[in-house]
Every structure is written in structure tokens, then in C-alpha cells.
Amino acid sequence: MNSDVDWAGQAQRFQQDLTQQWTKALQHLQPVANGAGAPPQLSFAPDKLQALQQAYVREACELWNSGLGAKPVGADKRFAGDAWARNPVAAFTAAIYLLNARTLLGLAEAADTDAKTKARLRFAVEQWMAASAPSNFMALNAEAQQKAVETKGESIARGLQNLLADLQQGHVSMTDESAFDVGRNVATTEGAVVFENELFQLLEYKPLTKQVYERPFLVVPPCINKFYILDLQPENSLIRYLVEQGHRTFVVSWRNVDASLEDKTWDDYIEDAALKAISVVQEISGAKQINALGFCVGGTILGTALAVAAARGQKPVASATLLTALLDFSDTGILDLFIDESFVKYREMQMGKGGLLKGQELASTFSFLRPNDLVWNYVVGNYLKGETPPPFDLLYWNSDSTNLPGPMYAWYLRNTYHENNLVKPGKAVVCGEKVDLRKVDIPVYIYGSREDHIVPITGAYASVKHLPGKKRFVMGASGHIAGVINAPVKKKRSYWTNDKLPASHEAWLEGAKEHPGSWWTDWAAWLKSHGGKQVPAPKAYGKGAKYKAIEPAPGRYVKAKA
């Protein structure tokens, strides 16, 4: 490099210009709160800004002085391949990109503003930087270029074919979707549909033991995706595990709603789905009480339903299990970034009286919470390198999105994420009843995943403060899905227990004991004491002519595409 060039001066001027441009960009990226028409004016503490400038100048000078010998700093897997190291231009481009990314994130952190605005700025920077990475472009991606040379252009042709196929299906392929068929090689636990209405089908599963507990078990999965996450393969199926433990198991399979159901409300999902499923299971089994589980949004639905039942003087559920579920929405993690009064009002105006929240919109939102892993990774592999992602049942499920009725979604947004009304006794009125979780006086098993970015572990733990019955809280390793779907046969990960329930999760964790393996065994032991006595397993599905088998599990509803 030419030593006569004033690299330090150029670097400083470039960084100052970058600061000015980025400050303007951040102001426009910030969502406007409370209907305000003007973006907020951002300022930066002079000492923090000076430290950022000095660090940028120093690192930029080092890069420019090393010229095309520069290498990316850090362990970013996007640039870890040998092709990047062997291509000086690509390596230099990656190094400059990583420097700019660190600086822009530093600017977001240095902004003198409130915590929520700062978090939004950080999220906007991360999205921008993920999208602008040199690895996302054929002209800059050394690995894609090398593959094109090695395949004599075939990878480019395959990439174009993949792009056209994904445009037709409406989403980026994360797996080879042709390898899976619901009911054939996923969702294969044997059972039958024994009841259906316009919102859900009720599945009953064939017993695998000669005797079962007298209290049947009802699973309420999330309605924002499909129930077979709990029944992917026999070796990791939570549903099959319940059946093997001797529980007469029923599962709600939600309808993938279309325009005919666009006016359905949260009340409908409680009265005509959750409470209806509970009463049907009671009728079929003849049990006065059942046990129930709610997973994710299914846990919020189940908790609301139990509060409505309690307000009516009813106690149809003997014990409940909440898996990575929120009742208290005071800590919602990264999803809080999207929620404010203006956003909720917009959604209410858009679909509060009718309409559909498209499943692909929800799926895209969750994917962009981890953009490098769940979006750009597949853009690069599918289109730039012409690769077909391998078959993976979990990612197939992840791509099998579901629609939601607009009024139901709008109520949920305002009363949970925005106003946190479910934990304010009497504030939320559902099915004509005032919701008061203090009346849900039953034993509850609460599970949270340590690295969950959808339901933060502190949010999962917060339920212990609002439910008066005897409670057990267990924390598992990993995230929202992998932490839950962790069968004992895998002998993977670990979980933590603590018989005491202090005010905060941090205090709970200080006294918690770690155990190797799956939390399922701890849960199974807990369930034994709530199942009642053993009775002969039923020899037929349903009960009489009223609840006869309609069709084999997994039923029609789960196969409907968004």
C-alpha cells in the first residue's frame, strides 16, 4: 500500500460520514410510537462517539495498511471457508463488512435513548447488516464463485431453478419438502379423529398399555403452527411418550383457517375450542376431571380457558402443564420490539373486525428473529450455490404455516403483549367472564427453556406468581423447540430443578440442581400422582354413536395448507 496516503485521515472522514448517515437512517427505522408523526431525534454521548471513532480509525488503518492481505476477524461462519481465505478481494471485503457491522452496532448501543428504542435500533442494525453481508451476493461470495467454476456453471443453473421453485411456493425452502408427507412419515402415532367442529379436530390415540390412568390427558398445542411438532418421529414424539406412559391421550388439531372463519375471536377459541375439547374428553372418558397441557400459545389459551371455567364455578382440569408458555407478558423478549400502541391500533383497524393473518407473515416474522440462520443461510445455499437443503422434519414443520383469524389475533395482541391484561384480575373479559388466574387453584407443572428467544425463561417463570396451586418449575437446556422436544432415548442436554419458588428466576436458578438428560422423565413422575387409578385401556376410539371415529389420525385439518 502507498505509505504517502493519509489512511488515518481518510478513515476518520469515512467514519464521521458513516455516523451522520447512520444517525439519519436509524431515526427513520425507529417505529413511530403512540401515533406520533415525527421520528425521534437521536443523540450520542460525546465520549462514546469518540471512543467508537478512535476504534474504527485504528482498525480501518490496520486493514487498509495490510491491503489485500487482510483477513476477516472473528469466527463468523459465513466467512470461515477456505475459499474466502484464498480469495484476497473477498477476504478484504468480508473484513471491511465486519468492521462496519461492529461500528454500526456500537452506534446503536451508544444512542442516548430509552431501552426499548435502543433495542429497536439494535434489531434494525442487525437486520440491515444480515441482509447486506457480502456472502449474500454472487459477485462477492468466494465459495459460490468457486462452486460455479468447479461445476462449470451448473450450480448457477440449479440456483435459478431453486429460486423459481421457491417463488412459486411463496417461501424460501429450508428443507426438501418433497421428502415429507403428514400422516406417512411425520405425525404417525396411531389414532383417530373423534370430534370436529369448524375450529378444531379432536384426536384420540390408541393405547400402548393394557391399563391407562382414569384421568385422560388433553394436549392443547399452539394455533400459530401445527400440532405435529409434538409427533414428528416415533423416537422423539411427546404424544407417543404420553401414550407409552399409560395416559389416554387426546390432542387438539387446529383448523388452518380460511376466509370462512375470518371473523372468529379469542372468545371463540376459548369457548368453542379449548373448553369444548375439555368437555368432549370428559364425556368420552366419563372422567369428572382430566389433565391438560398447553404448549406456547396453547398454554395461554389453556390458562385463559381454565380461568373462564373457574369464574363459572367449574374445575374440569385436575392438573395442568405449561410448556414454554406465557401468562404474564411483562417479559416477552425480542418480540416486545414490535409491539406498541400504534402497531396494535393498526392491526385492529386492519383486521379487528374480520380478515386473516396469513401464516407466511407469521413464519417470516419468526424467521427474521434469527436472519442469518433462518433466512440468508438458505438464500446463499439454495440460490448462489445451487444446493438442495437436506430433508429435516423439524424444518418441514417450520415451513408448514397456519393462518389466524384477524379478530382473534388483534385481541391477543392488545390484551397480552401490549397490555398484559391476563394477570390483572378482572381486567380481561373472555366469554362473558372476568379472567382471574388466582382462581385457577390446581397443581401446575411449568417448563421453560433456558435459551428460548420466543418465550424468555423469565417470562415462563413468571407464571408461578399468578397461579395459587402447588407448582413445579423445571428449566431445560436449549431453545423454544429443541428444549421441549428432547426425548429421553436421545440422552441429550440437561434440565434443572428446584423445589423452592422464590420471587425471581435468577434466585430460583441459584438454588437449582442440574440433571443430565431429558426433563420428560421428571414430568412423567410428576404426572403419575395426578392421573388417578389405573383402569383397563379402551378397546375402541371415542364413545358410542356421538363420538365415533371420523377418520384416522392425523386427520384432514392438519393437512390443509395456509
Provide the pLDDT for residue 22: 44
Q: What is the dihedral of CA 507, 512, 517, 523, to 10 degrees?
A: -80
CB atoms within 10 A of CB 516: 9
191-356+401-559 maps to CATH 3.40.50.1820: yes
Nearest to 74 by CA among 87, 61, 91: 91
Query: Among 30-39, 124-133, 402-411, whose mean pLDDT is lowest?
Result: 30-39
How many CA atoms lie less than 13 Å away from 548 in the CB half-sphere?
3
Q: In the predicted model, what is the mean pLDDT of residues 200-220? A: 98
Residue 461, pLDDT > 70, answer yes
3-state SS class at 552: strand
Ranges in the chain annotated CATH 3.40.50.1820: 191-356+401-559
As a whole number, mean pLDDT of residues 331-345 equals: 90
- When pLDDT is averaged across residues 524-547 and rounded to a whole number, the result is 97
The answer on pLDDT for 73 being more than 70 is no
So what's the pLDDT on residue 44? 79
User: What mean pLDDT comes out for the span 367-396?
Assistant: 92
**Using CA atoms, how far apart are residues 447 and 473, in angstroms rounded to an integer?**
6
In the DSSP assignment, the letter for residue 392 is -
Q: Give how far the C-alpha of residue 36 lies from the chain's centroid of Cα atoms, to the nearest Å.
A: 30
Higher pLDDT, 5 or 281: 281
Confidence of residue 9 (pLDDT cuts 50, 70, 90): low
In this predicted structure, what is the pLDDT of residue 40?
A: 58
> What's the pLDDT score for residue 62?
83
| C-alpha dihedral sign at 112, 113, 114, 115 | negative
Q: Check 61, 223, 296, 431 and give the catalytic one.
A: 296
Backbone angles phi, psi at 200, to 5 degrees: -155, 160
Is 223 an annotated catalytic residue? Answer: no
Given a cut of 90, whether residue 112 has pLDDT beyond it is: no
pLDDT digits (tens, 9 = 90+) for 15-38: 455 445 444 444 434 443 333 444
Q: CA 351, CA 362: separation in Å to the nearest integer?
A: 15
pLDDT tens track for 423-437: 999 999 999 999 999
Average the pLDDT over 372-393 and give the result: 94
Contacts of 510 (CB under 8 A, 6+ apart): none
Question: Is the pLDDT assigned to residue 160 strictly greater than 50?
Answer: yes
Q: Backbone phi, then psi, for 102, in 5-degree steps?
A: -60, -40
The pLDDT of residue 69 is: 63
Output the average pLDDT for the chain. Answer: 90
Which of these ranges, 177-186, 204-213, 356-365, has the smallest mean pLDDT?
356-365
77 vs 448, residue with greater confidence:
448
| Residue 360, pLDDT score | 86
More confident residue, 71 or 516: 516
For residues 141 and 80, give the distance between their C-alpha atoms in angstroms, rounded to a whole number: 12
**Measured CA angle at 324 (ends 472, 198), to 5 deg:** 115
Scan for cell 452506534, then name that residue: 107
Contact indicator for 456, 332 with CB cutoff of 8 Å: yes
pTM of the model: 0.89
CA distances 37 to 118, 183, 331, Å, are 19, 51, 28
Give me the pLDDT at residue 28, please: 39
Res. 334 pLDDT band, cuts 50 70 90:
confident
Q: Rounded to whole angstroms, how far apart are CA atoms 560 and 167?
A: 20
- Give CA torsion, residues 242, 243, 245, 250, to 10 deg: 60
Percent of the chain with pLDDT over 70: 91
pLDDT in tens, 300-330: 999 999 999 999 999 999 999 999 999 999 9
